[in-house]
Amino acid sequence: MRHLALLGSTGSIGTSTLAVVQAHPERLRVVALAAGRNRELLKDQCEAFRPRCVSVGSQEDAQWLRAQLSYQPELHWGPEGLLACALHAEADTVVAAIVGSAGLASTEAALRAGRRVCVANKESLVVGGALMHEAALAGGGELLPVDSEHAALHQLLDGRDPASIREVRITASGGPFRDWPLARIQAATIEQALNHPTWKMGPKITIDSATLMNKGLEVIEASVLFGLRADQVAVTVHPQSQVHAMVGFHDGSYQLQVCANDMKLPIQYCLLYPDKQPGPVAPYPWEEARAWTFEAPDLDRFPCLGLAFEALREGGTAPALLNAANEVAVAAFLQGRLGFWDIQACNRDTLSRLPAEPLGSLPQVLDADQAARRHAEGWVRART
């Protein structure tokens, strides 16, 4: 039996995780739930799973929740609440699904405390990947990726001699603007950018998919997780989103991982690893007719992907700078303060103007994150 602390329970990863828990009641139990502002859904989740530890965004939300629940769990709020859930005495597995760099400290603490961390918060690895590995080594924690592409790579690379690997390729759907000309992309609206053709996700990650920044962050994540150089990680656009990753070997052959485009599959893989059990997703229907297509990404139309490779090659705090600038720019776009093409411009300006430093400590990374946010906010204000 695995005892779960789920950080980000009301988001798309969180709700999918709870569906996997429901499919395996004999193997999985929820002991802690943490969410932000969606207190109504959190209340329903608490009543359904009865966690002993619960965290919300604010003290006011905690007071509201206490009055609503039919039982009395430990109630926390804010960043301290995330840590309380991640470090709950009964939790041996933490699903880190808090969006953005806000999940960095709780992910690091859980690894240092010896937990299995199923990381859906790619920013934790992008911003402080070496520190996450250091925390896992120091505390005996285990790091498993929830992103479909990285869970696929984990399956393909598990037990492989690293010397046999020539490259890995992660796939991208191409987002809603895959076939759009540059001029049309530059003028894209919020509604158009949120209309993803394949996945149903939160607004921030959906915009990142439209710019291909999400794939850029995943490139950095793959490098961190599997110890790969920038020239060993590539992206292939695959609109059908059914081949999730490929591994190329020095003899010229490739192996591919294929499954339905349902996040419950990689979530279950992480939670139950190394076991593979029937779950809430049907086996892949090979008898159905289909066609798969593959193409190279266009960095002129999707420059955020190129910026991510640039940050990966530069190393140190460069990925943290890029990630922070992107969070600010995407938020400003969703608020109507920036145009779609301004996202990449803000990211480029921040990455070019702020010097990257060798990665040393979590406080240093957080300082770099804040410096990039201040710079990006200033850039946004100058254009609004």
Q: Is the pLDDT of residue 268 over 70?
A: yes
Q: Give the residue numbers of the binding site for Mn(2+).
A: 147, 149, 218
| Lateral strand order in the sheet of 93-96 | 74-77, 53-56, 28-34, 2-7, 93-96, 116-119, 142-145
pLDDT band at residue 330 using 50, 70 and 90 as cut-offs = very high
Q: Give the residue numbers of the binding site.
A: 10-13, 36-38, 121-123, 147-149, 173, 196, 202, 209, 214-215, 218
Helix H or strand E segment including 179: none
CA dist 164 and 202 (Å) reads 37
Which pLDDT tens digit goes with each residue over 223-236? 999 999 999 999 99
CA dist 288 and 295 (Å) reads 23
Q: Is the pLDDT of residue 8 over 80?
A: yes
Instruction: Find the length of the chain.
Output: 384
Which pLDDT tens digit goes with each residue over 31-75? 999 998 899 999 999 999 999 999 999 999 999 999 999 999 999
pLDDT at 199: 64
pLDDT band at residue 324 using 50, 70 and 90 as cut-offs = very high
Q: Is the pLDDT of residue 120 over 70?
A: yes
pLDDT at 123: 73
pLDDT at 100: 66
Q: Give the residue numbers of the binding site for 1-deoxy-D-xylulose 5-phosphate.
A: 122, 148-149, 173, 196, 209, 214-215, 218
pLDDT at 36: 87
Q: Give the residue numbers of the binding site for NADPH.
A: 10-13, 36-38, 121, 123, 202
Going by the DSSP 8-state scheme, the letter that residue 177 receives in this structure is T
Beta strands in the chain (DSSP E): 2-7, 28-34, 53-56, 74-77, 93-96, 116-119, 142-145, 165-172, 233-237, 243-249, 254-258
Which pLDDT tens digit goes with each residue over 347-369? 999 999 999 999 888 889 889 99
Average pLDDT over residues 292-301: 97
Percent of the chain with pLDDT over 90: 80
Tell me the angle at which helices 203-211 and 318-334 cross, rounded to the nearest 10 degrees: 110
CA dist 132 and 15 (Å) reads 25
Indicate the Cα dihedral angle 85, 91, 93, 98, nearest 10°: -10
DSSP string for 230-287: GGGEEEEE-TT--EEEEEEETTS-EEEEE--S-THHHHHHHHHTT-----SSPPP-TT
Rounded to 5 degrees, what angle do the CA atoms 110, 113, 119 make? 25
0.75 cut: is pTM over it? Answer: yes
289 — alpha (psi -120 to 50), left (phi > 0) or beta? beta
Mean pLDDT value across the chain? 93
pLDDT at 261: 84
Task: Scan for tokens 């995943």, then name that residue.
Answer: 218
Which pair of structure tokens corresponds to residue 242?
């059914």
Residue 93 bridge partners (DSSP): 4, 116
Indicate the Cα dihedral angle 294, 299, 303, 309, nearest 10°: 80
C-alpha distances out from residue 280 to 25, 28, 124, Å: 12, 14, 28
pLDDT at 99: 74
Q: Between residues 134 and 169, which one has the greater pLDDT?
A: 169
Q: Amino acid letter at 17?
A: T
Percent of the chain with pLDDT over 70: 99
Which pLDDT tens digit goes with each residue over 181-216? 999 999 999 999 998 777 667 788 899 999 999 999
Which pLDDT tens digit goes with each residue over 239-262? 998 999 999 999 999 999 999 889
pLDDT at 260: 86
pLDDT band at residue 328 using 50, 70 and 90 as cut-offs = very high
Evaluate whether 233 touches 135 at the Cβ level (below 8 Å).
no
Evaluate whether 365 touches 131 at the Cβ level (below 8 Å).
yes
pLDDT band at residue 101 using 50, 70 and 90 as cut-offs = low
Which pair of structure tokens corresponds to residue 125?
């690895």
pLDDT band at residue 102 using 50, 70 and 90 as cut-offs = confident
